[in-house]
Structure 1
Amino acid sequence: MTIPLQAAKPFANEPFVDFGIEENRKAMEAAIAKVKAELGREYPLRIGGRQVMTEDKIVSVNPGDLGEIVGLVSKADRALAEEAMQAALRTFESWKKVPAAERAQYLFKAAELMRKRKHDFSATMILEAGKNYAEADADTAEAIDFMEFYGREMIRLSRINETLPLTKAAGEDNRLEYIPLGVGIVIPPWNFPLAICVGMTTAAIVAGNTVLLKPASATPVVAHKFALLMEEAGLPPGVINFIPGSGAEVGDYLTSHPKTRFVSFTGSKEVGLHISRLAAETAPGQIWIKRLVAEMGGKDGIVVDETADLDAAAQAIVVSAFGYQGQKCSAGSRAFIVESVYDEVVAKVVERTKRLAVGLPEKNFSVGPVIDRSAYEKILGYIEIGKTEGKLLAGGGAAPGNGYYIEPTVFADVPGKARIMQEEIFGPVLAIGKAKDWREAIDLYNDTEFGLTGSFFSTDEDRIAEASDIMHCGNLYVNRKCTGALVGAHPFGGFNMSGTDSKAGGRDYLLLFTQAKAISRKK
C-alpha cells in the first residue's frame, strides 16, 4: 500500500488526559467495559501475511482479578520462529528500498489511528498490566509520541546531506546515507507493554529494517493490538512479524540465528546479559557482528539536601517509588537524605505513603497489583529481607484482593550496602538512608552497579552544578521525580548495568538501527 506523503508537522508530546473531569472518567469506564466484553478471546501469530493459530497458548491473566483471562495468545515454537525469520528476510529486500519519508507515513498513520482509540489501548493495559488510569494513559501517549517522533527523525536523517553537508573535497561529490541493517529481534518488556513495544518496533522499521516482535508473555494482548493497528495503517505484510513465545526456546533461537542482524531488548539485567552473551557468539554462516540495543533496569534514587523544598522532595520520593507499584526501571527505590532534615523528610514520606489506597486498577486505585505470582513472591521475599536490614515504617506485607496486591512499603535507616539498597526489587518497596551531608548522599547514590535515573533536590546552585557532574546516571532530574521521561525532552537510557545507554526518544536513537555509508564520486 502506498499512502500519500504528508508534511511532518513539528513534534509535540501527546497531552495526558485529566481523569478528574467526569466526561474523561466515563469514557475510560466505557472503554474498560468494551475490553471486558472481549475477555478470553484467542489471538493468532502474524507471520508475513499469514495468521497462525497454535494449540499451545499463552494465557494472559488480569493481575488485579485472577478470575479474568484477558486473552489466549498463540505461542510460536522454533519452526514458526524460523518461518517468521524467512518472511522477514524476504520482506526486507523490498522494504529497505521504500523511501524514508514514505516509511515515516506509516508511523504517522498509525499514530493517528491510536490517538482515536487511545482509551481502548489504555483499557487493555488496565486489565492486562494492572495500570491505573493515569499510568495507562501515559503509556498510550508515549506510544503515540514514539511514532510521531521517530517518523520525523527518519525524515531528518534522510535529508542529512542537506542539513549537515560533508566537508567539500576538491574534484568530488560526497554524500552520506543511513541504510538499514536487516532483520532484527524486538523483545519489549511487560511494564510498558505498549509504549516501549511501539517505540522499539517502530524505530527499527522506520529505519528500513524488518522485525520479529516477541512480546512479553505477561502482556501479549496489547502487543497484538498494536501489530494489528500497524496492518490497518497499511504496513506491508512481513515488516512486523508477531511471534509470542518462550524466551528459552524462541528468544534464544532467534538471538543466536545467523541471519539476525540486531537485537533490541528491554528487561532485566540478568536476561540482558544472557542475550548479550548469545549475540556475541558467531553462528555458522553469520557475516556480521550483531548489534545489541539493551535497556536493563536500575536501582534509582533521590538525594535530598537540607536546602531543598522538603514537601516537594517527599512527594517526589513517594511518586517515584510507588508509581505503577514500583514496576519501572526508572523507579526511585532508594532515597538518601542529609541528617539535619532526615527525620522530617522521612515523616513526610511515611505520611504520604500511608495515604495510598490499594485496589483494582479498573476502579482507578492509586496502587494496583504487581504483574504475576513470580514477582509477588519475589517482592514479599525482599520485604522480609528488609525487615532485617532497616526499620519498617509503612506497609510490610501483602494487601487484600483477588490479585497480586502488596502494600507500599517503606524502610528507613537502611545501610548503603544492604540488599534492599543494592538489588533491583521491581516492586513497591522504598529504602531510605541517612547521610552526614549532601556529598556523602551522592556517594551513597552512586554506590550501585546500575546508573539509569536519579534526582537531586536542592536550592543551592553550586551544589546542583556539582551534582549534575558527579551523579552517575543516564537521566538526572533536578527538583523533580526520577520517573516520567518524555519523548524528545528526556532521551532515555542508562549507564553501567542499566544497559547500552541507547537513548530512546532521542535524536541519535535511530542511528542504532542503521549503518552509515559514505559515497564519493569523482567529478
Structure 2
Amino acid sequence: MLTTYRPESYVNFAEAEPRKKMLEALKYVESQLGKSYPLRIGAQRIDTDNKIASINPGRNDQVIGYVGKANSDQAQQAVAAADIAFRSWSRVDPDVRARYLIKAAAILRRRVYEFSAWMVFEESKPWIEAYADTCEAIDFLEFYGREMMRLGGAQTVTPFEGEENELRYVPLGVGAIIPPWNFPLAIMAGMTTAAIVTGNTVVLKPASTAPVIAAKFVEVMEECMLPPGVLNFVPGSGAEIGDTIVEHPRTRFIAFTGSREVGESIFQKAAKVQKGQIWLKRTVL
C-alpha cells in the first residue's frame, strides 16, 4: 500500500555522514567516467560511429562519457518503434503504469548520492544543487505515479438529472520529449515519465551538453522492466533529429523546455500538418 505523498528531504552536507556518502559516490562515479552509451530504439541498443562527448564544464580535459549520436533515419526509426509500442502500452492499466514510476523512484532514492555525483561531474553543480535535482526527479516520479492512480478511472463531472456523465482521460500517442540542460535529471525525468504514465510512448532527445545523466535514467527505467519501445533514447543535434521528431506525421505531441527562440520554432513546425498526419499536434512549451 502506498503511503501519502511527501517530497524528498534534503541533507546537510555540513554533517559528516552525508559528506562521507557523497565523497564515496564521487569516487565511484569518477571510476565510471569515459564509458559509451548507445541509442535505445525499441528493443535495440545501437552503437553509432558518431558520438557526443560529454565534457565536465569545470574541467575541459575530463570526458564524462560518450553518447551515441542519432541521425535523421534513426530518429524516424525511434518514432516508428514508439508508435508500435503505443498500441499495447496505451491499453495497460493505469495503476500498472504508475507502478513503473514508483519503482523507478525507489531505485533513484537508493542511488541518490550516485546520481547527484553524476551531475556534479557532468554539469559542475554544487553538491546540494545536484542532490536537490535528484530529489526533484524522485518527487516527480512519486507524485505523477500517485496522480495516475487517482485519475486513471472514470472521473465525475457536473451531474444532470436523468443522465450519467463521466470523464475518462485517454492516451494520445507518440510524444517527442526535448528537455533542457540546466536540470538534466529532474526536468528530463518529469517530462518523460508524465508522458509515459499517462499511456503515451516517448522519443527522448536529451540536452547534448548533459546526455549521460539521461542515459543513466534510461537504464533505471530498463531496470524497472519498462516494455521496449515505450521509452526511446536518441541524443543528437536539434537541427537534424530535433526537427525530424517534431515534424514526423506519427508524432502526436511535443514537450519542450528551453529557449523562446527554439520553442517558437517548434510551435511553428508542429502547427504544419504533414503528409499522412491525421491530427493536429499538441505542444507543451
TM-score range, shorter chain: over 0.9
- What does residue range 148-297 of structure 1 map to in structure 2 within 5 Å? 148-161=142-155, 164-170=156-162, 172-294=163-285
Query: Offset at 1:258?
Result: 0.8
Runs of 5+ consecutive residues of structure 2 not aligned to the other structure: none
AA aligned to 1:53 is D
AA aligned to 1:187 is I
- What does residue range 64-213 of structure 1 map to in structure 2 within 5 Å? 64-161=58-155, 164-170=156-162, 172-213=163-204
When normalised by structure 2's length, the TM-score is 0.98
Query: Offset at 1:169?
Result: 4.3
Report the Cα distance in structure 1 between the residues aligned to 2:244 and 2:145, rounded to whole angstroms: 31
1:379-436 CA distance string (max 9 Å, x none): xxxxxxxxxxxxxxxxxxxxxxxxxxxxxxxxxxxxxxxxxxxxxxxxxxxxxxxxxx
Query: Offset at 1:39?
Result: 1.2
Please tell me whether Structure 1 or Structure 2 has the larger radius of gyration of its CA atoms: 1
RMSD: 1.0
Query: Offset at 1:113?
Result: 0.5
AA aligned to 2:15 is I
Contact 2:85 2:201 in 1 (8 A): yes
AA aligned to 1:142 is E
* Higher RCO structure, 1 or 2 (CA under 8 Å, sep 6+): 2
AA aligned to 2:20 is K
Query: Offset at 1:166?
Result: 4.3
Q: Does 1:13 align with 2:13?
A: no
Report the Cα distance in structure 2 between the residues aligned to 1:165 and 1:258, rounded to whole angstroms: 33
SS at match of 2:168: strand
1:338-359 CA distance string (max 9 Å, x none): xxxxxxxxxxxxxxxxxxxxxx
Q: Does 1:35 align with 2:29?
A: yes
1:435-463 CA distance string (max 9 Å, x none): xxxxxxxxxxxxxxxxxxxxxxxxxxxxx
Query: Offset at 1:8?
Result: 3.3
Query: Offset at 1:54?
Result: 0.2
- What is the number of residues matched between the two proteins? 285
Q: Does 1:57 align with 2:51?
A: yes
AA aligned to 1:36 is E
When normalised by structure 1's length, the TM-score is 0.54
Report the Cα distance in structure 1 between the residues aligned to 2:177 and 2:82, rounded to whole angstroms: 13
Query: Offset at 1:18?
Result: 1.1
Report the Cα distance in structure 2 between the residues aligned to 1:112 and 1:223, rounded to whole angstroms: 17
Report the Cα distance in structure 2 between the residues aligned to 1:8 and 1:95, rounded to whole angstroms: 23
Report the Cα distance in structure 2 between the residues aligned to 1:252 and 1:222, rounded to whole angstroms: 23
Cross-structure match for 1:498: none
AA aligned to 1:241 is N
SS at match of 1:179: coil
Report the Cα distance in structure 1 between the residues aligned to 2:166 and 2:272, rounded to whole angstroms: 34
Contact 2:56 2:64 in 1 (8 A): yes
Contact 2:76 2:248 in 1 (8 A): no
- Identify, as 1 or 2, the structure richer in helix: 2
SS at match of 1:16: coil
Report the Cα distance in structure 2 between the residues aligned to 1:8 and 1:123, rounded to whole angstroms: 29
Query: Offset at 1:165?
Result: 4.5
